[in-house]
Amino acid sequence: ERPAIKKLIEDVKLRKIDAVIVFKLDRISRSQKDTLYLIEEVFNKYDVGFISIRENFDTTTPFGKAMIGILSVFAQLERETILERTRIGIEKRAQEGKWRGGGKIPFPYRYDKESGSLIPIPEQVEVLHKMISLYLSGKSFGKIGEIVGMDDRLVEKRLLSITNTGKLPYRDQIFNGKHEAVV
């Protein structure tokens, strides 16, 4: 969301620039990921050199290009480490019966951040029970959708959600949730 960086990228793509020179590496961005993106995906792609005076960093030289490679390896390691920790944390929450947080909260629940649990929303539970009754009476997902004002695929997803039974899916595993089963 930095207008000057957007303008710089635009000028690079228009081939108005041969090299970008900064006093210090962190002046281009405080994020290593963003800096590497600019260097690898913007500057290198358009044959624009990148020079940092303070760090003696110059991608127009073989040593500078090698440094980009080294920085890229560490950036990738950092990304993968963060992903692994996130996956472990989400799985641990699921094992404890807690909703993973974030993302789409399953119908007919709301997420209680303090307890980490799903709380049924009574009005939505009523709609779900109506959908189940309609389905058991032989109505199609499409017909149920017309009646309750939902897309047929959404009706199917909500009717078949294992979360309704008090369970929590994570990857290919099913855990007992701490939330109330509504079916």
Query: CB atoms < 10 A from the CB of 156, how many?
Result: 18
The C-alpha atoms of residue 104 and residue 79 are separated, in whole angstroms, by 23
Among residues 114, 105, 80, the alpha carbon closest in space to that of 168 is found at 105
Token pair, residue 62, equals 């073989």
Burial 99-138 (b: 16+ CB within 10 A, else e): bbeeeeebbbbebeeeebbbebbeeebebbeebbebbeee
CA dihedral 92, 93, 97, 102 (to 10 degrees): -150
- Are the beta carbons of 22 and 5 closer than 8 angstroms? no
- Is residue 53 pLDDT above 70, yes or no? yes
- Is residue 141 pLDDT above 90, yes or no? yes
* Mean pLDDT value of segment 30-53: 85
* Mean pLDDT value of segment 79-102: 89
**Residue 10 has what pLDDT?**
96
Collect all residues with Cβ–Cβ distance below 8 Å to 129 and sequence separation of at least 6. Answer: 182
Lowest mean per-residue pLDDT among 17-21, 69-73, 158-162: 69-73
**Residue 98 has what pLDDT?**
93
**Residue 58 has what pLDDT?**
81
Query: CB atoms < 10 A from the CB of 51, how many?
Result: 16
Q: Which of the two residues, 121 and 74, has the higher pLDDT score?
A: 121
Number of H helices, E strands in the chain: 6, 7
The average confidence (pLDDT) of the chain is: 89
- Are the beta carbons of 30 and 64 closer than 8 angstroms? no
Cis, bond preceding 108 (omega within 30 deg of 0)? yes
* Mean pLDDT value of segment 132-159: 96
**Residue 18 has what pLDDT?**
94
Q: What is the pLDDT of residues 19-39, one digit of tens each?
A: 999 887 777 776 777 888 888
